[in-house]
A and B are shown apart, each in its own frame.
Chain A
Amino acid sequence: MLRVVMSRLIVAVLVAVTVAVVGFSLLRLSGDLAAELAGEGATPAEIESARVKHGLDRPLPVQFARWSIDLASGDLGRSLFSGEPVADMIRTRLPVTLKLAVYALLVSIGLGIPLGMIAAMHPRSWIDRLSLVTAVLGQAVPSFWLALVLIVVFGVMLRWTPISGSDTAAHFILPTVTLAASSLPGLMRLTRSGMLDALATDYVRTARAKGLAERTLVAVHALPNALLPVLALAAVQLGTLLGGSVIVESVFALDGIGLLAYRSILRGDFPVVQSLLIFVALAYTALTLLADIANAIIDPRIRLG
């Protein structure tokens, strides 16, 4: 187990380095950061001055090395635009993103698992087909489009929910539904296939032959086995939700790290973007590792390594 954990940690470091290099390169190739820093009405001389001030006149590898050394010593740097420490920017915005991701995951699990179970218990029925259609739609519909439809219906026409902001729990309803729509289908389909496999096993057939009630059969014998891969997927989904809320946070004006990333990418604020990329990549890797460990603990058949 320790060896597996160590190897995953090495993978995490490699992922972080790759993400940092790729992110840095893409960001620096996408525009002139000095022009952006100098401001819209800046003269060419002032743009050059901004370039020197922020060290952007140095070769890219030197700039990257300098940022990496600071990172290695625990300093995420400061925003090039506001001068605010990046660590503070992330810390103040992370709770909103975490809240949204957890809400979306809870909704996905709360609806996905029961729907998957029902679909598996009635294969090829209208319920099963409806769940399939829902899954396909949930994964196919772009989140920005779904967000706008929800805003128009529930925010503008019915006026049941707030449209933007993060002040109260009600502000999270539409963003949660939007984000959950993309993670729910996977959990639902995996629960369904797991349940179908479990219901077809010999021990379930034996239990049924012995006259065990269907509810007990499903709850005690089939579901725990069917949920093992769902647990792993849920952990991975949380990582995806943390990193995938950029569009949703932007549309609903939630001041989380997704919106911060969106804004920082547009401006090329690379200390902020780099830190966010590494944070999300590491969170994703850590959650995947946790899911593997949890699986190994729950299921004695799984032996890591």
Chain B
Amino acid sequence: MAQAKVTARTLALALGAILASGIPDAAAGKRANTLEVAFQRETDFVDRIHTDSRESAILSSAIYDTLLYQDPATGQVTGLLAKSWTWVDERTIDLDLREGVKFHNGDAFDADDVVYTVSFVIDPENKLRQQESSFLFVKAVEKRGPYKVRLTLARPEPVAEFLLAARFLVWPGKYTQAQGHMVHATKPVGTGPYRARDVSPGKGVSLSAFEGYFAGPKPKAKIGQVNIRILPDLQTQVAELMAGRLDFAQDMPPDQAENLRLNPALKVVYGDTIRITFLSLDASGRAGESPLKDERVRRAIAHAIDRDAIAGRLVGGGSKALAAQCHPAMNHCAQDLPRTPYDPAAARQLLAAAGQAGGVSVTLAASVDLKTVAEAIQGYLTAVGIRARIETAPLPTWRRNFLAGQSQMSVLGWGGGGIYDASAALPVFFDLGNADYARDEEVADWVKQGASTMDQARRAQVYRQALARIAEKTYTVPLYTNTVNYVMSAEVDYAPTRVDVPVLSQIGWK
């Protein structure tokens, strides 16, 4: 009996020790100056040179700096590692680099680092992801002084400044050359406001504020430590938030976010993003014979859908119905074009005029995450006599089918790389390529001109023409602007920006 008591006591002590060892202090956040952040997905690389994902965008902007800086709130481009720049001609940009900048390992930043990094990203042999659209507009880089660099472009690129602010971050040349570029997957070194303390694949990333960060347009780190944990299951994130062991999570399903809003220890904030969602219609009959080749049927679809209701009630968080096939904050995204209002009666009349008064059957495809939007559209279409059969699939499968020309009608979202210009929204879907279901050669020509001329007046004119034709022919039905939500501890201070990812260096404590 005595032995049994000793065993029980030993077990109890052991269990107590195990429990005590593992439970984090629930109030650790502000008191310990440590922000606990959840990511749903792991990123393969923390730098946006090797990859381009939401997660790498968050980490990259914390650890590294780019040549130019796009203000996440206004979208305006200013200097960052290059304090200023000059267009010598349509294909030449001179950069004046910032002096006195240090990398996290103590190396001094200069033109050699820029030349090393730019040479790497523009070398097609390195086969980087999305290299063509992100990097290859630059043809050559030349050092013209310790803090002066010249970029020669492969073509006139009207959004070059946005692109230099996106993925043109700078690695320390000597460190990267000595360790190999893959070192940035595990031991990243940049000049950014946070330095990477630990990168554990599958687990997360720990960051510390970089005390030596220079005073520039990007804010200094406001929090001492940031621990990013990979929590694939959203329910686990919710539990961690409710237990006070997580300070910051993003992109919760709207119903979950609203439930969490009821918790006084948490708050939910929404932000508008540059991302849009629209309905693609197979006007050219790529997916086979279909009633959508008839312009009247397409216009009937546009009349049938109450986009304001979808934006306001289904998406929420400040989402707005789109007036054109681009985000209103984008340059050259005309907002004064004639709109197709919600008018079910007009939709029925158009269907009757098209000889489809008995009803039309169509297939509506969507990736799984847009299923609720597809269902809402299905409801509106049913009300005017259009039977839409929904086909949902995981994003890669949906995308394969879409690019293979198999989509009669699809709901899709498009971010355009966060570039505030109509050229980020239009070319992919109107270039006569795999994603173009309009196949309108004139639109393709206007869009091509807009992406290749530096004359802003001409660009405004051709994009306006393209957008007007897209609306007139109802090649697409622009739906709404996307929003993002952040669930955070009430102690956290963060105002969302237009970028659909959080900017870590702008997060602070109340």
> Which B192-241 residues sit within 8 Å CB-CB of chain A?
200-203, 229-233, 235-236, 239-240
Do B400 and A35 touch (CB < 8 A)?
A: yes
Q: In the complex, A82 Cα to B202 Cα: how many Å?
A: 12
Interface residue? B133 (CB, 8 A): yes
Q: How far is the CB of B121 from chain A (nearest CB, A)?
A: 14
Interface residue? B416 (CB, 8 A): yes
Interface residue? A41 (CB, 8 A): yes
Q: How far is the CB of A271 from chain B (nearest CB, A)?
A: 14
Do A41 and B203 touch (CB < 8 A)?
A: no
Do B24 and A162 touch (CB < 8 A)?
A: yes
Q: How far is the CB of A250 from chain B (nearest CB, A)?
A: 5
Do A262 and B182 touch (CB < 8 A)?
A: no
Q: How far is the CB of A97 from chain B (nearest CB, A)?
A: 11
Instruction: Tell me whether A81 and B230 are in contact in the complex, defined as CB-CB below 8 angstroms, given that A39-B52, A92-B201, A156-B242 are known contacts.
Output: no
Q: Which residues of B are in contact with A by a Cβ distance under 8 Å?
A: 18-24, 26, 41-42, 44-45, 51-53, 127, 129-133, 182, 185, 200-203, 229-233, 235-236, 239-240, 242-243, 245, 393-397, 399-400, 403, 415-417, 428, 433-435
What are 28 A-B residue pairs whose CB atoms fall within 8 Å in the complex?
Answer: A30-B396, A31-B399, A32-B397, A40-B53, A43-B130, A44-B428, A44-B433, A44-B434, A45-B433, A46-B129, A49-B131, A82-B201, A84-B201, A151-B239, A155-B239, A156-B242, A161-B23, A162-B22, A163-B245, A164-B229, A164-B240, A165-B203, A165-B229, A253-B230, A253-B232, A255-B203, A262-B232, A263-B232
Provide the residues of chain B in CB contact with A92, threshold 8 Å: 201-202
- Kindly report which residue of chain B lies nearest to residue A44, judged by CB atoms: B434
Do A42 and B19 touch (CB < 8 A)?
A: no
Do B243 and A155 touch (CB < 8 A)?
A: yes
Do B22 and A169 touch (CB < 8 A)?
A: yes
Instruction: Tell me whether A170 and B182 are in contact in the complex, defined as CB-CB below 8 angstroms, given that A42-B130, A89-B201 are known contacts.
Output: no
Provide the residues of chain A in CB contact with B53, threshold 8 Å: 39-40
Do B403 and A35 touch (CB < 8 A)?
A: yes
Interface residue? A93 (CB, 8 A): yes
Do A151 and B19 touch (CB < 8 A)?
A: no
Q: In the complex, A281 Cα to B400 Cα: how many Å?
A: 31
Q: Which of B51, B201, B394, B435 contacts A44 (CB 8 A)?
A: B435
Provide the residues of chain A in CB contact with B403, threshold 8 Å: 32, 35, 44, 47
Provide the residues of chain A in CB contact with B202, threshold 8 Å: 92-93, 255, 259-260
Provide the residues of chain B in CB contact with A33, threshold 8 Å: 396
Q: How far is the CB of A245 from chain B (nearest CB, A)?
A: 13
Q: In the complex, A81 Cα to B41 Cα: how many Å?
A: 13
Provide the residues of chain B in CB contact with A159, threshold 8 Å: 23, 26, 243
- Kindly report which residue of chain A lies nearest to residue B52, judged by CB atoms: A39
Provide the residues of chain A in CB contact with B133, threshold 8 Å: 41-43, 46
Instruction: Tell me whether A45 and B132 are in contact in the complex, defined as CB-CB below 8 angstroms, given that A35-B396, A148-B235 are known contacts.
Output: yes
Q: In the complex, A151 Cα to B243 Cα: how many Å?
A: 10
A44-B434, A46-B131 known; 16 other A-B pairs, CB under 8 Å?
Answer: A31-B397, A32-B397, A35-B400, A38-B130, A39-B52, A43-B130, A44-B403, A82-B44, A152-B239, A156-B243, A162-B23, A162-B245, A251-B233, A251-B235, A251-B236, A263-B232
Instruction: Tell me whether A41 and B400 are in contact in the complex, defined as CB-CB below 8 angstroms, given that A82-B185, A159-B243, A262-B232 are known contacts.
Output: no
Q: How far is the CB of A267 from chain B (nearest CB, A)?
A: 8
Instruction: Tell me whether A160 and B397 are in contact in the complex, defined as CB-CB below 8 angstroms, given that A39-B52, A81-B44, A255-B230 are known contacts.
Output: no
Do A38 and B185 touch (CB < 8 A)?
A: no
- Kindly report which residue of chain B lies nearest to residue A159, judged by CB atoms: B243
Q: Which of A83, A156, A168 contacts B21 (CB 8 A)?
A: A168
Interface residue? A173 (CB, 8 A): yes
Greatest chain A CB density within 10 A among B22, B45, B200, B240 is at B22
Greatest chain A CB density within 10 A among B23, B44, B202 is at B202
Q: In the complex, A148 Cα to B53 Cα: how many Å?
A: 29
Instruction: Tell me whether A38 and B18 are in contact in the complex, defined as CB-CB below 8 angstroms, given that A44-B433, A82-B44, A92-B201 are known contacts.
Output: no
Do B45 and A82 touch (CB < 8 A)?
A: yes
- Kindly report which residue of chain A lies nearest to residue B433, judged by CB atoms: A44
Do B18 and A41 touch (CB < 8 A)?
A: no
> Which A219-271 residues sit within 8 Å CB-CB of chain B?
250-253, 255, 259-260, 262-263, 266, 268
Do A170 and B243 touch (CB < 8 A)?
A: no
Q: In the complex, A290 Cα to B26 Cα: how many Å?
A: 46
Provide the residues of chain A in CB contact with B428, threshold 8 Å: 43-44
Interface residue? A167 (CB, 8 A): yes
Q: In the complex, A148 Cα to B232 Cα: how many Å?
A: 14
Which bucket holds chain A's interface residue count?
A: 35 or more
Do B132 and A43 touch (CB < 8 A)?
A: yes
Provide the residues of chain B in CB contact with A173, threshold 8 Å: 18-19, 22
Provide the residues of chain A in CB contact with B185, threshold 8 Å: 82-84
Q: Which of A89, A160, A253, A260 contacts B19 (CB 8 A)?
A: A160
Provide the residues of chain B in CB contact with A83, threshold 8 Å: 44, 182, 185
- Kindly report which residue of chain A lies nearest to residue B398, judged by CB atoms: A31
Q: How far is the CB of A139 from chain B (nearest CB, A)?
A: 23
- Kindly report which residue of chain A lies nearest to residue B132, judged by CB atoms: A46
Do A36 and B22 touch (CB < 8 A)?
A: no
Provide the residues of chain A in CB contact with B131, threshold 8 Å: 46, 49
Q: Which of A37, A167, A169 contacts B129 (CB 8 A)?
A: A37
Provide the residues of chain A in CB contact with B397, threshold 8 Å: 30-32
Q: Which of B22, B182, B201, B203 contacts A161 (CB 8 A)?
A: B22
Greatest chain B CB density within 10 A among A43, A47, A251 is at A43
Q: In the complex, A92 Cα to B243 Cα: how many Å?
A: 29
Do B132 and A49 touch (CB < 8 A)?
A: yes
Interface residue? A50 (CB, 8 A): yes
Q: In the complex, A43 Cα to B131 Cα: how many Å?
A: 10
Q: Which of A53, A156, A160 contacts B23 (CB 8 A)?
A: A160
- Kindly report which residue of chain A lies nearest to residue B235, judged by CB atoms: A148
Interface residue? A171 (CB, 8 A): yes
Do A32 and B396 touch (CB < 8 A)?
A: yes
Do B236 and A156 touch (CB < 8 A)?
A: no
Q: In the complex, A114 Cα to B393 Cα: how many Å?
A: 48
Q: What does the 1/0 interface line of A4-24 toward B look like (CB < 8 Å)?
A: 000000000000000000000
Q: Which 7 A-B pairs have the closest CB atoms?
A: A170-B22, A32-B400, A31-B396, A255-B202, A44-B434, A168-B22, A82-B44
Do A41 and B394 touch (CB < 8 A)?
A: no
Q: What does the 1/0 interface line of A85-119 toward B look like (CB < 8 Å)?
A: 00001001100000000000000000000000000
Provide the residues of chain B in CB contact with A165, threshold 8 Å: 203, 229
Do B129 and A42 touch (CB < 8 A)?
A: yes
Provide the residues of chain B in CB contact with A263, threshold 8 Å: 41-42, 232
Do B42 and A170 touch (CB < 8 A)?
A: no
Provide the residues of chain B in CB contact with A47, threshold 8 Å: 403
Do B233 and A250 touch (CB < 8 A)?
A: yes
Provide the residues of chain A in CB contact with B26, threshold 8 Å: 159
- Kindly report which residue of chain A lies nearest to residue B15, judged by CB atoms: A173
Provide the residues of chain B in CB contact with A260, threshold 8 Å: 202
Do A170 and B21 touch (CB < 8 A)?
A: yes
Q: How far is the CB of B214 from chain A (nearest CB, A)?
A: 30
- Kindly report which residue of chain A lies nearest to residue B129, judged by CB atoms: A39
Do A39 and B51 touch (CB < 8 A)?
A: yes
Q: How far is the CB of A103 from chain B (nearest CB, A)?
A: 11
Q: In the complex, A53 Cα to B129 Cα: how many Å?
A: 10
Q: In the complex, A173 Cα to B18 Cα: how many Å?
A: 9
Do B23 and A41 touch (CB < 8 A)?
A: no
